Amino acid sequence: MMKIKLFINTAKLSLIALGILIVSRVLSSIVLVRTCAYINTSKTSYNVIPYKNIPLKTILDKNNILLNDNDDIISYDINKPIKALQTVKITYVTKKQKEIIENIPFRITWSRRYNSNLREVELQKGIEKSIIKTIEEVFYDSILYNTNIIKEKNIAKEYCRLVIFNVNNEIENIYDLSKTKRMKMIATAYYPGDPLAWRDGTVTFLGQKMQRGIVAVDPKVIPLKTRLFITGYGYGYTGDTGNLIKGKRIDLGVNNATEEKAWMFRNVTVYILEKSDTY
């Protein structure tokens, strides 16, 4: 009987001790919670112990919470102490720079149509502009927040280009003559029925019908079946050769003897556009 009473008393004391321990821990947790402060970032949250005379900056350092120099945004003065239950929000700011190019379409300032040679073309002079911008992208917690223009540079290029039209008067091709190979040549001319031309100038070396726009060249200088543009003359296609057409000589197909005389031994600039099986 005594042993049973002793066991019961011991159990009661154990339960009382356990209860005291649980209450103590609960009270300690409550006190701890009431003495904590909170630092929140986009990645995690920190529970920190505030100190009356210790600034927030020191608490951040002790908890290895790093800031990116002066870019990051913090909701509290890091030089002041924080209080219990206070929440501090840190927004991480990153900046990236990149370059973008905006091209402004070619603006025609002068033009001339040539429609008497094989096909219609237009010589155009104009200006093309590019705007090069250096921009800075600002990210708040890896989310794009703002974009700022750091630097802007305008580049203007004036040049001539040749536009080729098809039979429906639609643009078939555009050649930037500033990037096209060119050469200075001596021009002469011949016409259908010219007694000095091969087969009276009615049929070309390639077997084509002789007409204005067909030109004779030295194939060692300019290959046959090449599209050309000749200053003052217009569009040309290398479809013929000639015994006297050697080196930097070009023989221009024209309509008649009168036009032939006007082109004799003239200095021209020849732009070599591209090889093509058709003119």
CATH code, 206: 2.40.40.10
Q: Is the pLDDT of residue 51 over 50?
A: yes
- CA distances 51 to 27, 85, 268, Å, are 21, 12, 89
Q: How many domains are contained in the chain?
A: 3
Domain of 60, CATH number, reads 3.10.20
| Segments forming the whole domain that contains residue 140 | 96-175
- Contact at 8 Å (CB) between 16 and 42? no
One domain, residues 107 and 128: yes
Domain boundary (118, 145, 175) is at: 175
pLDDT, average across residues 184-196: 93
Asked if 243 and 270 sit in the same domain, the reply is yes
**pLDDT at residue 199, rounded to an integer:** 75
Q: pLDDT at position 70, please? A: 77
Among the three residues 70, 94, 118, which one is the final residue of a domain in this structure?
Answer: 94
For residues 86 and 131, membership in a common domain is answered with no
Q: Confirm if 149 and 120 have CB atoms less than 8 A apart.
A: no
Among 61, 94, 127, residue at a domain's last position: 94
Mean pLDDT, rounded, of the chain: 88
pLDDT tens per residue across span 131-174: 999 999 999 999 999 999 999 999 999 999 999 999 899 999 99
Could you give the CA distance from residue 33 to residue 30 in angstroms, rounded to a whole number?
A: 5
Residue 39: alpha-carbon gap to chain centroid: 42
Q: Identify whether residues 73 and 134 lie together within a single domain.
A: no
Q: Mean pLDDT throughout 211-218?
A: 97
- Mean pLDDT, to the nearest integer, of 62-86? 89
Residues 82 and 123 both lie in one domain: no
* Residues 81 and 12 reside in one and the same domain: yes
Q: What are the φ and ψ backbone dihedral angles of 161, each rounded to 5 degrees?
A: -140, 160
Q: 76 and 56: one domain?
A: yes
- First vs last Cα of the chain: how many Å apart? 126
- Whole-model pTM? 0.68
